[in-house]
Chain A
Amino acid sequence: EAQVTQNPRYLITVTGKKLTVTCSQNMNHEYMSWYRQDPGLGLRQIYYSMNVEVTDKGDVPEGYKVSRKEKRNFPLILESPSPNQTSLYFCASSLAIRGLPGEQYFGPGTRLTVT
């Protein structure tokens, strides 16, 4: 089954304790993104990657890091989480069809609470 998986689905942590949220897709997609969802703001792109070893900042990258060492995986790293990073996080992947956008597939979301 074609899917995007995220782990963990729920996480409660404390300020300053480094954490990683994993994302994996089994569709051989080139493009992957991380979004955060906050009430009234919709989803906003944090980082994106257009291929292995190619990553770039989205609209709200502060406090986050990513890596893309393999095509299927795109982990999100919070080196020193703060309460303002409490949010719902989504990973998404998509094909580039002759370089143009294909349909986005979303993971199930990770609910992160930083106390």
Chain B
Amino acid sequence: AQTVTQSQPEMSVQEAETVTLSCTYDTSESNYYLFWYKQPPSRQMILVIRQEAYKQQNATENRFSVNFQKAAKSFSLKISDSQLGDTAMYFCAFMIRRIKAAGNKLTFGGGTRVLVKP
């Protein structure tokens, strides 16, 4: 079974500064995806960034980037130039990249609440 751990329950950051969220995972699978989801107060689940395990290059999406360390099973998210709208709960998630794997099940970490202060 897969597990995902987010060790930081809450973090705060000043507007325009950088914050890094930690995520570690455990799996015996070699082929998988990793995701970061954002959940603002509206409760909507929003995909922030996705990494495919077979790709060496770290994914980036505008101000969001990841540091993917496959051997260490670590997948951190860096938010640069933080904005007030980044205030949200952030979830790290894992999905096996295999045909018909539990209906594309996502395994989530417990979440990190990020507060961006003006």
Contacts and interface: CB of A to CB of B under 8 A. Distances in A.
Given A45-B103, A111-B43, 15 more contacts: A31-B103, A40-B111, A42-B4, A42-B93, A42-B111, A43-B93, A49-B103, A50-B103, A92-B106, A100-B99, A101-B104, A102-B104, A104-B47, A108-B42, A109-B43
For this complex, into which size category does the number of interface residues on chain A fall? 20 to 34
A58 B102 contact: yes
Contacts of B96: 101
A106 B33 CA distance: 17
Interface in B88-103: 91, 93, 95-103
Contacts, number: 73
Contacts of B91: 42-43
Interface residues of B, number: 27
Nearest to A38: B110
Contact of B106 (A49, A96, A104, A108): A104
A112 to B, nearest CB: 13
Given A40-B111, A42-B110, A100-B97, A106 B104 contact: no
Nearest to B99: A99
Interface of A: 31-33, 35, 40-45, 48-50, 56, 58, 88, 90, 92, 94, 96, 99-104, 106, 108-109, 111
